[in-house]
Amino acid sequence: MSKANMSWLDELKWDDKGLIPAIAQDEKTGKVLMFAWMNRESLAMSIDMGRAVYWSRSRKKIWPKGEESGHIQKIKSMRVDCDKDVILLSIEQIGGIACHTGRESCFYFELSQNEEANQWLAVDPIIKNPDEIYK
């Protein structure tokens, strides 16, 4: 890509590691499915491929969502917030599973509050056993 074609990337506010947070949201329901990081290369690849490509901080490499599971995220639209430091992806989640735990969303823990103690409870079901997804 030429420098002129990359100016849209220059408008974003990248952190000191060259990353920007990305939120994946179901295009139909509006449900937040996951949060991940993108770098310039993964964001440009996402646009070129029409599907979400992230930067894996733990693996320190480009991570096309669904490369192992088949649960790719087709991008329907992309927005940034007013500060241009967070990306919001409106996506179609192939297979209905976004989380590596086999759930629809990574946000499946809910705070349960009672007089004795607060605790995080898993409130969403596992759709498919991760052992069957990642062989």
Joined tokens for residue 87: 């990306």
Measured on CA atoms in the order 57, 60, 65, 67, is the torsion positive or negative? negative
- Report which of 38, 47, 63 is spatially closest to residue 1, judged by C-alpha positions: 47
Q: Spell out the domains of the chain, with CATH numbers in brackets.
A: 4-101 (3.10.20.810)
Alpha helices (H) in 34-120, listed in sequence order = 40-49
pLDDT of residue 12: 97
Q: What is the pLDDT of residues 114-127, one digit of tens each?
A: 888 999 999 999 99
pLDDT of residue 9: 94
Distance CA(18)–CA(60), nearest Å, equals 12
